[in-house]
Structure 1
């Protein structure tokens, strides 16, 4: 949904005030070894809960980790070619979707089609859509999903850490990974607050899902043909808009870089707890002053969250709506990340937390206030050798969290051992943002979520096809077709479904090439049936056009006929433009770099002389005919 001009203007002014207030400073953050860490977690990140690896059943670890390695070995984890600001880019991470049969998950103009859990015996279901190894891998992830559904429902208010004594001992050992503030970035770009403001006004705001846009662009191979300075200039234009937070009226006049503000940030001070010393809000780990911030906020990608009604973005700010019934995660988005294969990982720019594998974001397209559960598995190589034991000196993966729209509350980092799980509960995902900070070993993550699938299941789109085709009469003897109702509203409804089937399902599916069918055939027959239904809708559009072009007949002259013509013209124009966009995407330079089995397929597509198709692929001439018809009315 597009924001109004007034709303955008107010947000821009708010960002400018915050940039002035922040000046050249970095925002503090705390890791496990820092004083005040637990108080900060309880006060501002209470929706976060951690389950240590040692408290998860060992047999479940074994099946899940073997399943993840199987999925990678079979080629199921692939980089997605997604759409951001009318540009195609590859995701940095490789991923795939598992979930309830017939479910999809949509992000960045890309629809992922879930490989089913395979939670039931295939002989009972009468479906044998993949080989036994892949079926066992999917079932292992379903078992993990079942564990998460039960476990997250049992967590009580205030539960923060679920671990054994072994896990408690290890937390102290992980202290060194709790990341201190970095020194001035060697790659930073200078600029005063005035330049921040001018660049801020030129950027556009758009949420993206789970990675850093600039990192993606730099990994696309584009930088190989550019000088470094040229690439940095281009990446500025493609970067997301700088983040802002709410500012109290008394704080808006704080000038950037003033002596009074040097090395300090006004804001959060944890409550004193007996036996625990608090740290000043303006000091980082070990009480060091906040490092200078040379990076321009508007030069770095960090997604904006919606402004919380409470003004603080805390997960404790107001009681969130309670979801009725037990939690049921319906999909998991699997990710694989290998730092050795990730070129030019960016430094986290606001807190100095370290290298980011996934940029700041909210998980999107979820049922409001439902939890997210994540399983983290680190390994040395494709054989699945664990990162534990001899790799103790290697830097571990971490999660970074921050309150959205807030430069005063310190950030939080959470180190993850292989097999650790964490939950984002209540409204944490909507009021906060999180990022993934790269370790030194390869990592899988299984992110279980309650996806908003009201218009994203096979059952849904099949019912939509039934609605449209119920207006088509077929003569059983001759096989000829005719339309039952000619009301403009009915015809408009049918044409909207026609476009939805073609562009939200058929072209989305085939744009991802043959990669689904080559390791799981579950979607093959449903998509074939959708294409047959879509072809009948092409026939309905042809009948619609024929009726309009009759000099006299079923449609009365006047406003009714004009309304029908305008309805058809709007649907055809949209269809023509979208077909050209998808055709361009399928033949783009990035698409051509993919191997044949992964390359996008421009389907449905047919030539001008194809006798099986009622209308041409290129609708320019048809559009001209309808426009001419309207002109004569």
Structure 2
């Protein structure tokens, strides 16, 4: 077999997750450049509440945006949440994320903290954030201080409030639709007035119950991404490129990794006593008031419909309902003062919880057995499906969990040490999977197999080892980058797991290059030898 064929066989393994993200980034950049070229030097129109057409445009093109002003939110919510946010900031719980955009590391100007259901994670820009657990029944969480614990409880209370409010808005919309076709509904709860003699009512009630269940799923926020933005600490704020809305703290985007058609709810808190004012040269912006934080909204890649910029006062909330986050893009336009936001989401967690990854580890471990007398480990099955499954899980645990967690340093310890025990358990399982890979390599070398059988197993295994080698080099480079070293010491990434070749405690070397080379040669030679 020629070397070109070997490379073709291993192409899947080299298509790492980061490269797939890069392809997505390039597609977005292409759309952006096409849009900027089409509008050339002119600026697209946008409206603020000062414009007489604002309400009409909002209803026509942005109907799934709902704003709840601070005066309509219970004062108790404001007091506890705002105190909690400032407590978390005072305790240095917020940190910048080192993310990847266009395959390059970028330090977010926004400081962030993820709070949510215990064991949940949230992914964006090739970065997995791990929740600081809010208080949950049956889960013991030890916070770094009582004040931090109270802050997390306040965020949980806000989450429940926003869930109820989002349900009300969506059910009210359902009620309006129902009334148009002749049914009677209560405005606040959308509960049908019962009529035992009506088959239509029974049918409607069944549909209403189903609708309520769906809407509950789409508004049961499992995480909130807390943001802290201080214009005086942001060295460079980009100008909004399409409408001339002024300085942006967060560029145009869709929120990622969400359950389809789920609501995003945001609580805004900016206050004069949070810090020094930013550079007042920003006051030349036309249209919106540059001293006040705004959210910009536009239909994705559309230059025919004017955009919106709506101001946010301290305590205001807004909801992006149903598919608005999919069909529209939003940005955050900087004001003069520091700002907090709590952005509540229904994160897509089918592969993003501890329960999920522990179940995956259990699947892999089922292929490992130990002699009851001698304790010597061996593989139960050497079938290709078993090899593929084990090595997939091996890479998933290492690169989607262990390295993602330690890349963020030990910053979660500022709030709680909750994650350290489950990560230790995951690392233990991962070490077992390293042992399983070694056992497979030994089998390839020693088993009385035909050349064809050996080649089949090698072709199955090799792409996963190549991916492992490539990703280990990428993660090490990211951990040693200039940006990584610029972070505070207690927030700097750790390249973990890491060990030196020849470490007797590890089944295999960290650098897989020699093993990969031997396997490739094995495919080229009937009598090749693979050493582990």
Cα distance in structure 2, aligned partners of 1:576 and 1:411: 46
Q: Is 1:625 aligned to 2:515, yes or no? A: no
Specify the alignment match of 1:34 in structure 2.
51
The answer to whether the 8 A contact 2:246-2:290 is kept is no
C-alpha deviation, 1:378, in angstroms: 0.4
1:593–1:450 Cα change, 3 Å: same
The answer to whether the 8 A contact 1:119-1:139 is kept is no
1:610–1:12 Cα change, 3 Å: closer
Specify the alignment match of 1:46 in structure 2.
63
1:342–1:383 Cα change, 3 Å: closer
The answer to whether the 8 A contact 2:36-2:242 is kept is no
C-alpha deviation, 1:130, in angstroms: 3.5
Q: Is 1:339 aligned to 2:235, yes or no? A: no
Please state whether the residue corresponding to 1:128 is helix, strand or coil: coil
Q: Is 1:96 aligned to 2:96, yes or no? A: no
Kindly report which structure 2 residues correspond to 1:143-292, keeping only aligned pairs within 5 A, or say none: 143-156=157-170
Q: Is 1:583 aligned to 2:495, yes or no? A: no
Kindly report which structure 2 residues correspond to 1:149-548, keeping only aligned pairs within 5 A, or say none: 149-156=163-170, 324-326=214-216, 327-382=219-274, 395-548=291-444
Specify the alignment match of 2:197 in structure 1.
none
1:629–1:523 Cα change, 3 Å: same
Please state whether the residue corresponding to 1:405 is helix, strand or coil: coil
Identify, as 1 or 2, the structure richer in helix.
2
C-alpha deviation, 1:600, in angstroms: 0.7
1:73–1:107 Cα change, 3 Å: same
Give a deviation string over 1:43-95, Cα, whole Å, max 9, x none: 00000011110111101111101111111111111001111222111001000
C-alpha deviation, 1:35, in angstroms: 1.4
Please state whether the residue corresponding to 2:363 is helix, strand or coil: helix
Cα distance in structure 2, aligned partners of 1:424 and 1:549: 58
Give a deviation string over 1:15-49, Cα, whole Å, max 9, x none: 75x66763432111111111111100000000001
Deviates more, 1:374-383 or 1:604-613: 374-383
The answer to whether the 8 A contact 2:94-2:228 is kept is yes
Please state whether the residue corresponding to 1:625 is helix, strand or coil: helix
The answer to whether the 8 A contact 2:141-2:416 is kept is no
- Structure 2: gaps spanning 5 or more residues: 1-16, 174-210, 278-288, 527-532
Specify the alignment match of 2:123 in structure 1.
106
Please state whether the residue corresponding to 1:324 is helix, strand or coil: helix
Give a deviation string over 1:176-195, Cα, whole Å, max 9, x none: xxxxxxxxxxxxxxxxxxxx
Among 488, 499, 505, the alignment partner of 1:606 is 499
C-alpha deviation, 1:631, in angstroms: 1.7
Deviates more, 1:93-102 or 1:564-573: 564-573
What is the TM-score with the length of structure 2 in the denominator?
A: 0.81
Instruction: Give the number of equivalent residue pairs.
Output: 455
Cα distance in structure 2, aligned partners of 1:394 and 1:357: 12
Cα distance in structure 2, aligned partners of 1:559 and 1:480: 28
The answer to whether the 8 A contact 2:370-2:376 is kept is yes
- Structure 1: gaps spanning 5 or more residues: 160-320, 386-392
The answer to whether the 8 A contact 1:375-1:446 is kept is yes
Specify the alignment match of 2:155 in structure 1.
141
Cα distance in structure 2, aligned partners of 1:119 and 1:14: 42
1:530–1:59 Cα change, 3 Å: same
Cα distance in structure 2, aligned partners of 1:470 and 1:407: 55
Specify the alignment match of 1:128 in structure 2.
142
Cα distance in structure 1, aligned partners of 2:329 and 2:474: 32
